[in-house]
Each structure stands twice: as C-alpha cells, then as structure tokens.
Chains A and B, each alone.
Chain A
Amino acid sequence: MNHLLGVKELSAQKIRAILKEAFYFKNLVQKKDPSLQTLLANHVVANVFFEPSTRTRVSFEIAAKKLGASVINVLQESSSIVKGETIFDTLLNLEAMGVDLFIMRHSEAGMPHYLSRYLKTPIINAGDGAHEHPTQALLDLMTIVEYHKNLKGLKVVILGDILHSRVARSNIFCLTKLGVKITLCSLPTLIPKGFSDLDLSISYDLKSAIADADVIMVLRLQKERHEQNDIPSMKEYVKYFQLNETLSFPKKALIMHPGPVNRNVEMSDKLYNHSQSVVLSQVRNGLPMRMALISIFLRNEFLAR
C-alpha cells in the first residue's frame, strides 16, 4: 500500500489484515505494553486539515503520539477554498522538511488522489468531500465485528443523508466486499443517483427498513440541507426519518453514528444513550485502528501474526 485513499481500492483480504492489525494494537493498548511508546519514535506525522474537524484529527494525533511519533498540525480551516495547486506546494515543502506521513482532509472529492500522484510520502485520507472516509469505515467494521462475528448475510441499514456522506460511501465499499447486505434508508432527494444499480437495497420507509436490521448506522444531517431544498424542514425530516425509541427494531441490533451527532435530529437523545448504542465504542476503536494504519505505513509491515 502506497497510500490509503479509499476503501474502494482495498481487497477483502487487505481489509481483514488491517482489521487483525487493529485488534492487535487494541490488545497492546489494553495491556499498556511499553513497547508502543517507542514503536514510531523519530517519525513525523502531519495532520493537514483543510476542513474543520476536531474528533478525527485528535484521534489521529493521539494514535500517533501513543506510538511515539511527533505530530504537527497544519490547519487551514478557513471558509475560503484552498485550491489543489497551493496545497500541492504546501505538501511538497512539508515533504522536504521530513514529514513521513500525511493525514489529510479536504472538502473536495478527489483531492488526496490528485496529490498522491506527485508525493512520495504516503497519504491517509481522513475524508475528501462526499467521496471517502476510509478510517471511519474501518473502525466501524471493527466495532461491528466485536458484536457480530459472522459478517456474511448481516443486515446493515444506513440511515439518513447518504447523498452528502463520505462515511456512507466508504462503508458501502467496505461492507459489500465482506458479504454484508446493505439497505440505504432515506428520502429520494438524499439518495445518490445511480445507487439503485449497486448490489444493495433502497428503502424510503424507516419502519420496515429497520424491522430486521442487525446494525443501524445513523448519519449526520447537516442544517444546510434545508436551505438546499433537499428537505422541506428539520421537523418534517424528524417525523419520518429520526431514529427514536418509539420505533421497533431487533434487540440485538447495534445503533451506530459516526459523529458528531445532532442530538434529537437524526437520532433521539434516548437512543444515543440506549444500551444498544455503540457510538462511544466506535470512538474508542478509532484509536487502535488509526494506530494500526499509521504503523502499517511508517513501518511498512504488519505486526499481527
């Protein structure tokens, strides 16, 4: 692997190997293994974020620091769009200064793909537009397998603003490769054109979609969607698509959310704190998953046997 641009490029075998590596790191962290702190000493990881993000960036930062790497943050989260040419120059300079790994986020789909053609330093995509967010999908997978050992035939419902969601796309790529049955549930204006041709189901009815779900993945609904006429109002969206305690779903179903959650919009507060909610497990698993990925790129090897 030269870069991690998306899950689309990963084989099922590669995904399983990454997963194994992440559990290996999770185990070491739990054991407080002292070797972790020096594993990546003398390496420099750069977080280059051109879009506001706290959780993902901090998660990467802690992951790198736990492995002894130095972390620098290059944050240009201004409202003005930073164009590809300028970023290219910035990254070339950082590369010349000895950065060993870029963690990159940008609002434009395809930005890390463009840069990867010219940089020798590996890039981990931490989200590009509505395209991919591979580390989120991988940590979601890690969370799912902690509860459901057998992925084949598992029914995962992805609920909400699929059109604008990179998390949804990466999860679709990831889970499809592992034999999971996916149902996209949303209103017609928030389902991307042409997704009906994919190997998945589409439902416009929340009740029936979640009735036999093993996993319900709720996506964040941004407030701008109302201004863009994708939905008439939040109130109306909440009435038809909010996941809440009045709905019935299987007792074993996991409730997931990539965060940050809009409380009482896409999901009710009660469900967020529900016994079946694994939202904080997702956040916890983000750490070993990102440690594993940083280690894979900087050491160029898998440690798990």
Chain B
Amino acid sequence: MKTLIKNIHILNPHQKPFLGSLLIENDKIKKIFKGDSRRSLYSAKAGYWNGKDFDKVIEGKGLHCFPGFIDLHCHLREPGFEDCETIESGSRAAAAGGFTTICCMPNTNPVNDHPQVTRLLQQKIKNSSVIKVFPIGAISEGLEGKRLAQIGLCVDEGIIAISDDGKCISSTSFMAKALAYSRQFDIPVVVHAEDPSLVYEYGIHTGRRASLLGLKGSPALAEEVIVARDIVLAERLKARLHIAHVTSWQSVEYIKHAKERGVKVTAEVCPHHLLLTEKATEDFNTLAKVAPPLRSEKHRAALRHALKTDVIDCIATDHAPWSEKYKDLPFVEAACGIAGFETAFSLSYELVQEGVLSLPKLISKLTVEPAKIFGLPKPEIKENSAADLVLVNLEQKYKIDTKNFLSKSKNTPFEGKSVKGKVKYTFCNGQLVYSDQ
C-alpha cells in the first residue's frame, strides 16, 4: 500500500514548517520530498510525477500536516456503558479529531483494576479500534480508594499509567502507598484532584453563578488541597505525578513551584476549561456540567498563561461521552462530562488565533509533550517513522454540529459555535482512518 500526499505544510514540533510531499508505504513514512511537488517528485523519480506508482494520491494544497495527536485522558465507556460509547465509536471519533493515540481511563464496568479486564480491553482494542489505544489501570480496587489494584499484573498486560479518575483518593495514607508502589514500575500516577469532603455538588464551580442557582458546587479549594497534598507526597516519595485537568490558578502556582524544585510532576488542561467559564452553567445547562467544573475568568486566564509558560505541559480532552439518558436530567442528577475528541483541535486553535500560543507550540502540546509524560515514542514526521499523521485545513471555518459527530454521544456545550481549523484526514500506522468528506 503506497499513499502519496502532495504539497502540504509539514510541521514538526519545535521545528520550522516546510512545504513538501510525503510517501507513505505500509505503516511507515517512506520518503519526504521537500519543496513543490512538481519539482521534487520529478527530480526524485520520473514515475512519481504522474502518480502511477501509488494506490492513493491526496492533493494536500493548503493543508498542514502534523504528527497525529495524542490524548492522555479519555473515557471510552466500554465495557459497561456501550450506549454512550464503544472502543470502536470512540476511536473513530478520536480519529475525526486528529488523534492517533489515546489513553482510556479505567472507570468502566467492570473497572480496569484486574489483569483479566486489561486483557479483555486489549483484545477489544485490537479487534475494533482504528487508532492506538493505551489503557490506564485503576489505582484502587473498584476505584474505592481502599485497596491497591493489581497494578503490576495490569502493567504486564499493557496499562500505561494508573488513575482513579472520576474519583479523588481521599485517604492521604492510601495515596502515599500508591505513589510509593508506582515507583517499582516507573509509571505516572494520574490524579483527579477534587477533595470529596469539600464538594457539595459535582460539576459546577462554587461561585456566584452556582450560588444564584441555589447550589453550593465544588470549590477551587477542593482541587488545590489535593494538588498541594499530592505534590508533597510525590516529592517525598520520588514518584511520577500527573495532575489531570487542572482548573485552578492556585493549583497552577503549586505545580509551578514544584517543578522549580525538581518534583516529577506534570499537568494537563482541557479545551473546555481554556475556553469556557462558569457562565456556561447558567439556566441549569447540564451540557456544561463537568468535573472538575468550569470556573471563573481569573482561573481561565491563569490556565492559558500556564499552558503558554509550560507550567501545564499538555492539552488533554477528558472526552466523557454520555447519552441523553445521563445528560437530559435535572441538573443535580445529570452526569458530569463533555464529549471532547471532535472539537479539541478547533477549540484549542482559538488560542493560536488569539495569540496565546504559537502554532508549533500548540502542536507540541498535542503531540510531543503528552508523549513524554506517558513515555510514548516521540511523535515526529520523518522518514522510517510510523505514519501517524493528521492533515488540517487551518483556514476552514465551520460550525460545530453534533449531527456530524462520530462519537455515540453528543454532549457538548459548544454546539453551533463557529470555529476555524478543520481536520481533513487522519492516518494511523499508514492507514487512512478518517477523511472529512
């Protein structure tokens, strides 16, 4: 199988973009031709010119080519909640968002806290995913925060990190044990920082908006105390700590100072926290109900600055698909979460348009930076590397329309929003796994 992609702007993170063409053979990038295709292909080999030698030729004029995006944080809902998402539908939705590698959280039913569950997942991934999926194992059995899951045996089956995401580990002693134990396998411990004893209602920020709705919500403080606690623990225990979906300016300060001291701490932020504030929850809008919640403008501004200054390492979607059954309920009863794969790039690209991030920096936050955190191969467009690629039309404007979502769930507060930057093609291991037709 040979695919030629012509006349694209190739951008590797931390490098200057250049015009060129790519030859994909089977699962690898076989050759990169620099410059205009007419000249470069002709001089390379006569046959390349007319396209005879290829199974598929894509004219990429006006498109940018990046390494496939990597998402450290998503929920694929299989097994247990297949009415909301499956590994297949989730992987196709991710591909539509330009992702070629995603890492799925263990809060399924059953929970991924046992090697047999991991093995089952790996089989399902092999059979039905169109892209690379790495499972994240649970820290505790049943996500109950009481007994350690069989972490080592799950590592043997291929888990890439551990997390009790969706739940916060309240017990300091249990968290200390988990961090100490993780060192043996040198895997990151991913924390959902939201102290349950400080939370009244999940999914809405304790602040003016919640107060006016008669809700007490979840305060920024609930995140901050856990971030501070876990940094203290990780520093002392020399473990790898990854803070999921940071939302508070004070958490950012703690992470910044920890990094300056050399603590092995990394952090991610979600597009919805970079774009929205608590204002979106007005009128009990359950589509904006997400944990941790959308906060105030001060927090949002701090997250943007932290991403720019690398205090926050990467962008992750926290793709949390829920069908209407879980979302179309009174606010207090509705599930927390936003389906994020298919809007992640266009939303994040607003930061480039607003001058917060440069384009190369945004791409590194979606590729090399997340890869580093989980120890994945360095995503790079070079000869003989895996052909995991995304082609994007940065100029194309469109309206977010959930009718076009490949995800089984349509829960997004961004419906109808006008955005720029559309994913046109995604290749994973040389296979075309998404094309925008």
Chain A interface residues toward B at CB < 8 A: 8, 83-85, 108-111, 113-115, 128-132, 163, 166, 169, 192-195, 197-198
Contact = CB atoms under 8 A, between A and B. Distances in A.
Contacts of A108: 330, 332-333
A8 B213 CA distance: 10
A109 B214 contact: yes
Contact of B214 (A169, A194, A198): A169
A193 B330 contact: no
5 contacts: A84-B330, A108-B333, A109-B331, A113-B331, A194-B211
Contacts of A195: 208, 211
Contacts of A8: 212
A222 B216 CA distance: 17
B214 A114 contact: no
Interface in B298-355: 329-333
Interface string B175-216: 000000000000000000000000000000011111111111
Nearest to A114: B330
Contacts of B332: 108-110, 129
A113 B206 CA distance: 20
Nearest to A127: B214
A131 B213 contact: yes
Contacts of A130: 214-215
Contacts of A197: 208
Given A129-B214, A131-B213, A132-B214, A114 B208 contact: no
B48 interface: no
A10 to B, nearest CB: 15
Given A113-B284, A129-B214, A130-B215, 7 more contacts: A109-B214, A166-B214, A169-B214, A192-B216, A193-B206, A194-B208, A195-B211
A195 B207 CA distance: 8
Given A110-B284, A193-B206, A84 B329 contact: yes
Contact of B215 (A84, A109, A132): A109
How many of chain B's residues touch chain A, expressed as a range? 20 to 34
Contacts of A163: 216
B331 A114 contact: yes
A26 B333 CA distance: 40
B283 interface: yes
A83 B334 CA distance: 11
Contacts, number: 66
Given A193-B207, A194-B207, A194-B209, A114 B215 contact: no
A83 B331 CA distance: 11
A109 B211 contact: no
Contacts of B210: 193-194
Contacts of A129: 214-215, 332
B430 interface: no
B219 interface: yes
B211 A111 contact: no
A192 B209 CA distance: 10
Contacts of A169: 212, 214
Contacts of B216: 163, 192-193
A193 B214 contact: no
Contacts of B219: 193
A115 B328 CA distance: 10
A114 B333 CA distance: 11
Q: Which of A194, A197, A198 has the most CB of B within 10 A?
A: A194
Closest 5 CB pairs of A and B: A194-B208, A131-B214, A192-B211, A130-B214, A109-B214
Contacts of B330: 84, 108, 110-111, 113-115
Contacts of B208: 193-195, 197-198
Contacts of A166: 214
Nearest to A115: B330
Q: Which of B207, B208, B213, B217 has the most CB of A within 10 A?
A: B213
Interface in B379-434: none
A169 B212 CA distance: 7
A109 B333 CA distance: 10
Given A83-B333, A84-B330, A166-B214, A114 B209 contact: no
B219 to A, nearest CB: 7
A248 B330 CA distance: 45
Contacts of A132: 214
A160 to B, nearest CB: 16
Nearest to A165: B214
A305 B209 CA distance: 38
A195 B329 CA distance: 27
B287 to A, nearest CB: 13
A128 B210 CA distance: 14
